[in-house]
Amino acid sequence: MAYKPQYGPGSTVVAENRRKYMAPSHKLEKVRDISDEEIVLLMGHRAPGAAYPTSHPPLSEQQEPDCPIRKLVTPTDGAKHGDRIRYIQFADSMFFAPAQPYLRSYLESYRYRGVDPGTLSGRQIVECRERDLEKYAKELVSTELFDPARTGIRGATVHGHSLRLSEDGMMFDMLQRCILDKKGNVVKYVKNQIGEPLDKEVKVGKPMDDKWLKAHTTIYHSLGGVAFRDDAEYIEWVQRIHSLRTKYGFMPVE
C-alpha cells in the first residue's frame, strides 16, 4: 500500500491550513510579485548578478565515489553546481501570521529538496544550496505563506514575534528593516535580513487585512482567532501520542 501522508489532525480552519501548506499537492496561492533580484537583495548573500560562490567544483567535474546512495538521489541544481550553503530566516508574529515556525519546517521538508530547516520560537531558518534557496525563498515570500506586516525576514535580532504590534499594525523590529509606506499602504524593506542598508528599497506588497490573516493563519489563538481548546480532535490526538509514548517508550503501537 502506498504511503499517504495525513499531515495532521484537527477540524478547524487552522488545522486545515496547516495540512494545505504542508501538502505539495496544494498549489500555494501567489499573492505578490517579487523579482529574482529582489529576493537576492532581501537575503543579502550575494550581489544581484554576481556569480554563485562555490564550496566545491561542479559534481560533473569532480570524481564521484562509487556510492549507491548517490546513484539513487538526484542532486539539486545547487548541489550540481557546488554552491555554498546559505539561508533565509523568518520571524512570524503570533498575531495571526500565516506561517508559524514548526509549520514552516514541516512544509519545507515536504515541499523542498536538500533543505535543513531549524525551528525556534521566534524564528525559523532554512538552509540549503544558494541557487536552490533563491528559488524556495521566492515562493516563501510571494505566496500566502507571507504577510508583509506580520512576517519578518530577519537573519539576526529577530525579537518581535510575541510583542504587541506597533500602532500601524507592523510586527516590532528593533532594526526597522522594513517600514510601512502609509501613502501607498505598501511595506518596503530598506535593510536586508541582517540589517545592512539596501541601496534600493524592496517592496513586498500591502499588509493583508485581519480577515485574510485569520483565514490563512496556522496559529491557534483565543483572542479573535480559533482557540486551541475548540479543536477537540487536535487535543485528543496530542494526548493520545503522549499516552502511547509514555506507555511504550518510542514504539507507540496499540
Partner 1 sequence: MAKAKIERTQKLFLKALKGKFKEDPQSTTVVYAREGLKQSPRKREFLEAGKKMEMARGISMYDPVRCHLGGIPLGQRQLMTYEVSSTGVFVEGDDLHFVNNAAMQQMWDDIRRTIIVNMDLAHQTLQKRLGKEVTPETINEYLHVLNHAMPGAAVVQEHMVETHPGLVDDCYVKVFTGDDEMVDDLEPQFVINIEKLFPAKQAAQLKAAVGKSMWQAIHIPTIVSRTCDGGTTSRWSAMQLGMSFIGAYRMCAGEAAVADLAFAAKHAGVIQMADILPARRARGPNEPGGIKFGHFADMVQADRKYPHDPARASLEVVGAGTMLFDQIWLGSYMSGGVGFTQYATAAYTDNILDEFTYYGMDYIKQKYKVDWQNPNEKDKVKPTQDVVNDITTEVCLNGMEQYEQFPTMMEDHFGGSQRAGVLAAACGLSCSIATGNSNAGLNGWYLCMLLHKEGWSRLGFFGYDLQDQCGSANSLAIRPDEGAVGELRGPNYPNYAMNVGHQGEYAAIVGGAHYGRGDAWSLNPLIKITFADPSLKFDFAEPRREFAKGAIREFMPAGERSLIIPAR
Can you give the binding site for partner 1, defined by CB under 8 A? Answer: 18, 94-95, 100-103, 118-122, 157, 159, 161-167, 169, 172, 174-175, 195, 218-223, 227-230, 234-235, 238-239, 241-243, 245-250
Angle at 139 between CA 135 and CA 143, to 5 degrees: 165
Q: C-alpha distances in angstroms, 121 versus 20, 67, 93, 103, 168?
A: 22, 38, 10, 12, 24
Q: Please measure the distance between the N-terminal and C-terminal CA atoms of the chain and give it in whole angstroms.
A: 21
Integer Cα distance of 170 and 148 in angstroms: 8
- Nearer to partner 1 by C-beta: 15 or 42? 15
Q: How far is the CB of 92 from partner 1 (least distance, A)?
A: 8
For 212, other C-beta atoms within 10 Å of its C-beta total: 15
User: Which one, of 162, 159, 153, lies nearest residue 221 by Cα?
Assistant: 162
Integer Cα distance of 20 and 136 in angstroms: 17
Give Rg (Cα) of the chain: 20
Phi, psi of 210 (to 5 degrees): -60, -40
Asked if 36 and 134 touch (Cβ cutoff 8 Å), the reply is yes
Integer Cα distance of 8 and 206 in angstroms: 31
